[in-house]
Amino acid sequence: MIDVTDKVAIVTGGASGMGQICARRLAGRGAKVAIFDVNEQGLEDTAAESDNITAFHCDIADLKDVQAKVAKVNAALGQVELLVHAAALMPSHQLVDHTHEDMERLFRINYFGTTYMIRAVLPAMMARGEGRIVAFGSIAGIALVPKMGAYCATKAAVNAYVEVLQNEIRGSGVRAHLICPPAVNTPLVDQTIETDTPGSIIQAKKSGRLADPEKMIDAIEKGIRKNKDIIYPPGAKLLYLWRALLPKLWWKTVMTFEK
């Protein structure tokens, strides 16, 4: 990661998974870290690990809550200089069974949560001519799988939003990075497994082939140091190319896990 000493950072999804790893690392490097999450116990436990971590209960699907909590961070810690947006939900359902209400909620969290968080910090960053945004999209927005149609759609939307943003703000002094990881062994995958999960993910979990979250963050930090716009951690680029170049083979392969 870049030098973050004394910088103010917000990490969403900071109570677990890759968000928590990012928060720990940033705090260990001297950043003043605000973690946003709805997991009260996870917030409390993570904040207790370091004096540099402050917990804020925030529902990223609620625009007013996002704006209010970002204002509290600005008042308590200072102007936000880094946003790491990792919060998301990843339930699995066949599209014929996935209710409209649940899909709308998923979009509010995964897609609109992304836009709410970015828009809450971006204007001030651009006014100062500096700042950095690290937003987690997903390779799932490109390499589509059955039973995750709604999730894939939300991440395709996030991928598109952040890539367009990168080019619209280029030259402003603010950098935005899009992260497209593969399936990672975190509580987010557990959400999928607890619902109607794709067979490919079940098999990956059983065989230990899910990506290691610490190694994923290592790769993301390396990409940020190189100022890459889009960062594909190990395993993700292969899925991207497979889906792009051999779409029929891709679908034939992923559907074999559903038999």
CB-based contact 173:227 (threshold 8 Å): no
Which two structure tokens, joined as six digits, stand for 114?
A: 């992304």
Q: Is the pLDDT of residue 53 over 80?
A: yes
Euclidean distance between CA atoms 241 and 27, whole angstroms = 36
Find the mean pLDDT for residues 175-194.
86
Q: Read off φ and ψ for residue 222, nearest 5 degrees.
A: -60, -45
What's the confidence (pLDDT) of residue 1?
A: 63
Question: What are the sequence ranges of the domains in the chain?
Answer: 8-256
What is the torsional sign of CA 175, 180, 186, 189?
positive
Q: What is the pTM of this model?
A: 0.94
Which of the following is catalytic: 111, 116, 151, 232? 151
- In sequence order, the 6+-apart residues with CB closer than 8 A to the CB of 207 are none
Has residue 187 got a pLDDT over 90?
A: no
Asked if residues 117 and 60 have their Cβ atoms less than 8 Å apart, the reply is: yes
SS3 per residue for 106-141: HHHHHHHHHHHHHHHHHHHHHHHCCEEEEEECCHHH
pLDDT-derived band of residue 145, with 50, 70 and 90 as boundaries? very high
In angstroms, rounded to a whole number, what is the distance separating the alpha carbons of residues 251 and 259?
13
Please tell me the distance from the alpha carbon of residue 214 to that of residue 184, in angstroms, as a whole number.
10
Strands 82-85 and 131-136: parallel
The confidence score (pLDDT) of residue 72 equals 98
Q: Which pLDDT value is given to residue 202?
A: 80
DSSP structure class, residue 81: -
pLDDT at 189 over 80: no
Q: What is the mean pLDDT of residues 242-254?
A: 96
Total Cβ atoms within 10 A of residue 59: 18
What CA–CA distance (Å, rounded) separates 160 from 165? 9
Query: Considering the chain, what is the average pLDDT of its residues?
Result: 94
Q: For the chain, what percent of residues have pLDDT higher than 70?
A: 100
Q: Which fold has domain 8-256?
A: Rossmann fold (3.40.50)
The residue among 39 and 210 whose pLDDT is bigger is: 39
Q: How far apart are CA 130 and CA 173, in angstroms?
A: 5
Q: Is 151 a catalytic residue?
A: yes
Distance in angstroms (rounded) separating the CA atoms of residues 192 and 189? 5
Measured CA to CA, the distance from residue 110 to residue 165 in angstroms comes to 17
Q: What percent of the chain has pLDDT over 90?
A: 86
